[in-house]
Structure 1
Amino acid sequence: MSEALVKARADGTEPGVARGIGLCLLAMLVFASQDAITKVLVQEFAVAQFVMLRYWLFVVFALVYCHWHGGVGAAWRSGLPWLQLLRSLLAVGEIAIFSLGLRYLGLAESHALFAIFPLLALALARLWLGEFVGLRRWLAAAVGFLGTLVILRPGLGLFEPAALIPLSAALSFAVYNLVTRRVSQTDGFTTNMLYMAVVGALASSAFGLPAWRDPAPEEWGLMGILSVSGIAAHLLLIKALAYAPAAVLQPFNYSLLVFAMLIGLLVFGEFPDAWTLAGAALVVAGGLYAIGASPLRKQLTV
């Protein structure tokens, strides 16, 4: 690749960046559709069962991918195996917790609350890693927190305890991002993926097998689509990053909330109330303001 092309890609000015943004948006649409399927399945099945099936397919994919990119044995060698274990458990836990929340909350409400995770990662980076967080980024975190309070409306008699579920998922994902940043300083992509797949498959199977219920043919189809779409969405993101820097793509990740609202309306007849819309707007505004600061861009792009 030429020096000029590398510079253009780093600056986000390469014409192909538009393709990267398009792929990112498509990935967010797939993720939102995936959550709609999860919302259907979680009404009839234990969360662990379909999460387990997702990870079984994921581990097959990861093993094949690592075999063709240096070997499985090489990918399994980690400089920080215990942190890899923690990271992988946080990932499978986040998926399971968010899926459980969809049993009780709508797609839009769940994603509006989950969208606080970049700001949680910002605060935790200061508390746990001692990273500098300037006044502007603390202000962004405060705006996002205010948006969360607007959605929750504590003290007005409208607070739903189930709202704590996507917030717990957001906290897990924020910690997962911080641990991923740490292990990525030592381990490569194949190692990160292999540990996540293997540990996630084992952990989810420990709960999924005892809870197994035979699905009907159409339910098998939904579980199959759910499993394949998860891998497909991540591949779309990887491909998007080949065209555009992560700092350029990061704001477009908030389109997931828009897609979730549209799918919730069209498929489930859900329409978020004015409080949820206002709170979501504040959370997104805080996140975008924080992302605009270069130190946070760096921490979210590892």
Structure 2
Amino acid sequence: MPKDQNHPPYAASAATASAPPPVPPRTGALPDRTGLAILLMCATSFIFAMQDAFSRMLGSEYPPVLVVMLRYWVFALFVTAMVSRQPGGLRRAIRTKRPRTQILRGAILVVETTLMVEAFVRLGLVGTHAIFTAYPLLVAALSGPILGEKVGWRRWTAIGVGFVGILIILRPGSTVLNLGAGLALASALLFALYGLLTRHVSRDDPAEVSFFWTGIAGAVTATALGIRQWEWLAPSDWAWMGMLCALGTLSHWLLIRAYELAEASALQPFAYTQLAWVSVIGVLVFGEVLHMNVVIGTAIVVAAGLFTLWRARMRGG
């Protein structure tokens, strides 16, 4: 698997059964059709933004962990069906050399997704995503102590600049530093840990194994956390949940297809188009306000994050 496919794309932040783990590597039989792959990535980013909107709607009416649990049930079915078609099928997908780490990855992603849905409700789509853009910087900062990777001065400088952008976003009087902001930042930290653990297990397990364990371990964890808060959704809300699950399946398939057609390094910048879609939806649908400090701070964080990802793929970063 190419090294850069170990980095979850930004679009994976959608609060669904969220973050598609490493996708199957490109095969030699498939041509490099970068233009089509970019279109698929942009479409995926739009769908993820729609999923976030549905998650916010449902999360404001029901416990977020319940919404996440229902999504993970469908996600687990999708993962099982997907890996069954891979060489070796389910028997191969189950065999992992790092079962504890794989289970931990799945559990972390469930908690991250739940916190993000709660942040959507408390802070809104725009504010949550603005803060969440810090996760690539957190990956870079933590890759040294967790994975033993070298982080050069250029990336440390970018990390520092990025966190200046976060401070601009959280400036008092614009985006209020409240529980919602704390949940968004905690979600970014957990997603960074998920990404680092993904890179760790990729040293021993192929992508389809990680994909399977993310879905299954996540579904078990979500059920353990959410089943006690079970309540029946209103008939109309079941329709929204059905849309959320259908979009989740479609977005995962499109993302996998995009990675089959082009390298992750070519697609990552276009994953950030989710920010634009989230902003439009947040303003037009939920009446959120797009403050200038949020725009400026997010631009700084995104630029710093892309730089750290680029440097991470170069020797001696």
Letter in 2 for 1:270: E
For residues 176 and 156 of structure 1, what CA distance do their matches in structure 2 show? 30
The match for 1:101 is 119
For residues 87 and 39 of structure 1, what CA distance do their matches in structure 2 show? 24
The answer on whether the counterparts of 2:147 and 2:200 sit within 8 Å (CA) in structure 1 is: no
For residues 151 and 172 of structure 2, what CA distance do their matches in structure 1 show? 28
Residues 204-243 of structure 1 mapped to structure 2, 5 A cutoff? 204-243=222-261
The answer on whether the counterparts of 1:47 and 1:100 sit within 8 Å (CA) in structure 2 is: yes
The answer on whether the counterparts of 1:291 and 1:297 sit within 8 Å (CA) in structure 2 is: no
The answer on whether the counterparts of 2:170 and 2:177 sit within 8 Å (CA) in structure 1 is: yes
Q: Tell me, what secondary structure is at the counterpart of 1:103?
A: helix
The answer on whether the counterparts of 2:159 and 2:305 sit within 8 Å (CA) in structure 1 is: yes
How far is 1:257 from its partner? 1.1
The match for 1:130 is 148
Residues 142-181 of structure 1 mapped to structure 2, 5 A cutoff? 142-153=160-171, 158-181=176-199
Structure 1 residue 194 and structure 2 residue 212: aligned? yes
How far is 1:184 from its partner? 1.2
Instruction: Name whichever of 126-135 and 89-98 sits farther off.
Output: 126-135
The match for 2:35 is 18
Instruction: Name whichever of 79-88 and 272-281 sits farther off.
Output: 272-281
Match of 2:78 among 54, 61, 85: 61
Q: Tell me, what secondary structure is at the counterpart of 1:267?
A: helix
The match for 1:80 is 98
For residues 158 and 45 of structure 1, what CA distance do their matches in structure 2 show? 24
Q: Tell me, what secondary structure is at the counterpart of 1:104?
A: helix
The answer on whether the counterparts of 1:247 and 1:297 sit within 8 Å (CA) in structure 2 is: no
Match of 1:182 among 200, 203, 228: 200
The answer on whether the counterparts of 1:89 and 1:199 sit within 8 Å (CA) in structure 2 is: yes
Structure index of larger Rg: 1
Instruction: Name whichever of 220-229 and 164-173 sits farther off.
Output: 220-229
The match for 1:35 is 52
For residues 123 and 174 of structure 2, what CA distance do their matches in structure 1 show? 18
How far is 1:97 from its partner? 0.9
The match for 1:5 is none
Instruction: Name whichever of 65-74 and 105-114 sits farther off.
Output: 65-74
Cα RMSD for the two superposed structures: 2.1
Deviation sequence 1:169-218 (CA, Å, 0-9, x none): 10000010010011112112221122111111111112222111211121
The answer on whether the counterparts of 1:46 and 1:211 sit within 8 Å (CA) in structure 2 is: yes
For residues 128 and 91 of structure 1, what CA distance do their matches in structure 2 show? 18
TM-score, normalization by structure 2:
0.85
The match for 1:45 is 62
Equivalenced residues, count: 286
Q: Mind listing any 5+ residue stretches in structure 2 that lack a counterpart?
A: 1-25
The answer on whether the counterparts of 1:66 and 1:72 sit within 8 Å (CA) in structure 2 is: yes
How far is 1:129 from its partner? 2.0
Q: Tell me, what secondary structure is at the counterpart of 2:229?
A: coil
For residues 232 and 289 of structure 2, what CA distance do their matches in structure 1 show? 33
The match for 1:3 is none
For residues 89 and 121 of structure 1, what CA distance do their matches in structure 2 show? 18
Letter in 2 for 1:55: Y
Change (3 A) 1:54 1:84: same
For residues 120 and 84 of structure 2, what CA distance do their matches in structure 1 show? 36
The answer on whether the counterparts of 2:51 and 2:244 sit within 8 Å (CA) in structure 1 is: yes
